[in-house]
Amino acid sequence: MKIERLVVGPLRTNCYVLIEGTECIIIDAGGDQDTIIQYLEDREVTPKMILATHGHFDHILAVDPLKTRFGIPFLVNDKDKKIIDGFTEFVNKYFQIDPGSPPEPNLYINRDSTFKLGNKTINVVETPGHTHGSCSFIVDHIMFSGDFIFKGTVGRTDFGGSYGEMTASIRWVKGLKDDLEIYPGHGESTTLEEERANNPFFSEIL
């Protein structure tokens, strides 16, 4: 599987394109839809769906243009529906621009959801904390963590999240037996081993 990282949108969100053969899945289409569309067309890959790790605007800004261009579904956890419903108001308030109507999810995902891309299986894990509906996606030894884990820190919990939920998610991921490469929603990649050793939020949670 090939993984391409496109840094997009006003908050420099990591949009990941997972490619197997001539098909791909888009994770966190956070803006700059023309850049994403051009990338896909240049490589002649066909997207199957758009997955969102959570519902914050900077992870879904390009969803509607991509849905329109490729006729593909948008999937997110339904616990973030309230955040998505406030999409237009939030962007207007903080960025003084009109992003249009909130993107409408076609399907909702949960901890039991899985997706196939070629011979790869993408597993959904609910990792709430940053938002109530935050999810991570695991394929092979790679975890797409959204704004759950960053290199050296974790996501804030005061925009629709819960520190108690974040604590439980950290405790869960710390307990995994295998190391994982972690591809976060912003910034550079890291590993679970590195975060166990160096992330101060991890050291606080037993």
pLDDT in tens, 75-133: 999 999 999 999 998 888 888 888 889 999 999 999 999 999 999 999 999 999 999 99
With 70 as the cut, is the pLDDT of residue 6 above it? yes
- What single DSSP character describes residue 103? P
Our CA angle for 118, 137, 88, nearest 5°, is 110
Pull the structure tokens for residue 199.
Answer: 């992330």
Note the pLDDT tens digit of each residue in 52-63.
999 999 999 999
All domains of the chain in start order, with CATH = 2-204 (3.60.15.10)
Annotate 30-41 with b (16+ C-beta within 10 A) or e (fewer). Answer: bbbbeebbebbe
pLDDT at position 206 is: 66
Note the pLDDT tens digit of each residue in 140-162.
999 999 999 999 999 999 999 99
Tell me the C-alpha to C-alpha distance, in Å, between residue 166 and each of 67, 148, 155, 170, 173.
Answer: 31, 8, 9, 6, 11
CA distance 142 to 30: 20
Q: What is the mean pLDDT of the chain?
A: 95
β-strand partners of 183: 144
Amino acid letter for position 97: I
Nearest C-alpha neighbor of 125 from the set 159, 173, 74, 184: 173
Range in 33-37, 67-71, 73-77, 85-89 the model is least confident about: 85-89
Quick one: average pLDDT of 35-39? 97
